[in-house]
Amino acid sequence: MNTTAVLFDLDGTLMDSHRMVIQCFAHLFEKYGDIKNFTPEIQNEVFGPPLHVEMEKHFQNQDPDFMVREYRDFQQSQTWDDVMELFPHAIETLSFLQKNKILMGIVSSRITNSCNEWLHKFGIASYFSVVLGRDLFEKAKPDPDGILDACRILHAEPKQCIYVGDNASDVIAAKRAGVYSVGFISEESAREAILKTDPDACIRDLIELIDIVKGR
């Protein structure tokens, strides 16, 4: 196998946080805007970009830093145990990669502390040699900074790395970083946008990543 490292986005890729994110944004729209404006189109849009970008866009009369804090405060005030889960076959896929001595990392738009909290909650933190949240790299996806930083930390050549993400910005960032890009279609609504970015591969189940790694 010519793959030395596999990097993952977190939300929407390893863990299904769709309902949590929707409920957090719905809380903000109810409190600081109009819930009627939280249309299905906007609900699809808020996945992927950094929170600060979305706050600037949808709450123009509010300070975006304040809105990000409001979002995180609300998120931390809830347990979410009933709405958060790993995607099917996440453990099997991570175990295969570990067994084959492939390094793994997280490059996420979520802040690093929160990433680590959820990785520990799901019992998968030990699989990852590096966890980079948005606070640890200079420019957000679709810029490649986070992916390139993770490659450097792992001492892995980009051409020998894979990045898996569920958003068009993930695929673009991977391509700009020179790594093998895998678009994970965890929500059908994102399929068209992901396909338009022309990823090296597209999967609908994480277990498909095993064949991709074997094929490389």
Q: Which of 46, 77, 108 is the last residue of a domain?
A: 77
In sequence order, the 6+-apart residues with CB closer than 8 A to the CB of 14 are 8, 86, 87, 90, 106, 124, 206
Q: Residue 15: beta bridge partners? A: 11, 86
Same domain, residue pair 135 and 192: yes
Same domain, residue pair 27 and 12: no
Alpha carbon 32 to its chain's center: 26
- Within the chain, strands assigned E span 5-8, 15-16, 85-86, 103-107, 130-132, 161-165, 180-184, 201-203
Domain range for 175 is 5-16+85-215
pLDDT reported for residue 45? 84
- What residue has token string 């678009």? 183
Instruction: Give CA separation, 41 vs 8, 38, 169, 197, in Å.
Output: 25, 8, 17, 19
Same domain, residue pair 58 and 163: no
pLDDT reported for residue 1? 62
pLDDT reported for residue 188? 84
Task: List per-block mean pLDDT (blocks of 10 residues) for the chain, which spans 216 residues.
Answer: 93 94 96 95 84 94 96 93 94 98 96 95 97 94 97 97 96 98 91 95 98 94
Distance CA 112, CA 58 (A): 24
Q: Please tell me whether the overall predicted TM-score, pTM, comes out greater than 0.85 for this model.
A: yes
Same domain, residue pair 57 and 161: no
Q: Which of 77, 98, 126 is the last residue of a domain?
A: 77
pLDDT reported for residue 190? 84
Q: How many CB atoms lie within 10 A of CB 122?
A: 15
Domain tally for the chain?
2
pLDDT reported for residue 189? 80
Handedness of CA 118, 18, 54, 139 (dihedral sign): positive
Same domain, residue pair 62 and 95: no
**CATH label of the domain that carries residue 125:** 3.40.50.1000
Rounded to a whole number of angstroms, the CA Rg of the chain reads 17
